[in-house]
A and B are shown apart, each in its own frame.
Chain A
Amino acid sequence: AQKVTQAQTEISVVEKEDVTLDCVYETRDTTYYLFWYKQPPSGELVFLIRRNSFDEQNEISGRYSWNFQKSTSSFNFTITASQVVDSAVYFCALSEAYYNTDKLIFGTGTRLQVFP
């Protein structure tokens, strides 16, 4: 069964703290894609990163970094030195190559609140 679990419902931090958002996925497919999206209060989902199952290299983009570990089926997201503008709901999502479509399976999201 395909499933994405984001166990952290809500996280609150003070500005400049580092924060890690957890994501655990389940799939029987050997080829799949993992995504992170940010949803600010405006409602529009904003793409952050896409990873395929054959690329386990960690990635860093400015204050953002992602840790992909196939052994534990996890794809965690870390924000370094958080800022108030990072406050949003963050979604992890899975796409299976077997279905040659844009069907994404989303987790329930983690609401991040960054206080000044």
Chain B
Amino acid sequence: DAGVTQSPTHLIKTRGQQVTLRCSPKSGHDTVSWYQQALGQGPQFIFQYYEEEERQRGNFPDRFSGHQYPNYSSELNVNALLLGDSALYLCASSPGPHEKLFFGSGTQLSVL
């Protein structure tokens, strides 16, 4: 049983570019959340998707957007990249609200 998988593992972009990160949840999970983890910090909640809709959003600008597909996989899109967007982006899935989250290994994004 595969856990949460994310791709790519690492990514290097330049300022102003756009990026798409991908996530497949653990089998049987229909909810996907995205977190941003800056170096030396705890993860920050970006948003959560359930039934292909954004259920809740954290304090992130509209440059951050997402999508969930019928097979529950999800994408995180970031437009007009800034240097400050450099971080580890973590995807998580769960069997339901307030249950334990299963995290992927993350995508390390570097913006130059």
Could you tell me which A residues sit within 8 Å of B by CB distance? Answer: 4, 33, 35, 37, 42-47, 50, 52, 91, 93, 95, 97, 99-109
Contacts and interface: CB of A to CB of B under 8 A. Distances in A.
A27 B70 CA distance: 35
B104 A100 contact: no
A50 B88 contact: no
B104 to A, nearest CB: 7
A97 B2 CA distance: 29
B100 A44 contact: no
A91 B106 CA distance: 16
A45 B43 contact: yes
B23 interface: no
Given A43-B105, A45-B90, A106 B44 contact: yes
A45 B56 contact: no
Given A35-B100, A100-B97, A43 B106 contact: yes
Given A50-B99, A100-B97, A43 B42 contact: no
Given A42-B105, A103-B33, A33 B45 contact: no
B43 A103 contact: no
Interface of B: 31, 33, 35, 40-45, 48, 50, 55-56, 58, 88, 90, 92, 94, 97-106, 108
22 contacts: A4-B42, A33-B98, A37-B103, A43-B88, A43-B106, A45-B90, A45-B92, A45-B101, A47-B101, A50-B99, A93-B42, A100-B97, A100-B98, A101-B50, A102-B94, A103-B33, A103-B45, A104-B35, A105-B45, A107-B42, A108-B42, A109-B41
A19 B31 CA distance: 35
B51 to A, nearest CB: 13
A45 B98 CA distance: 16
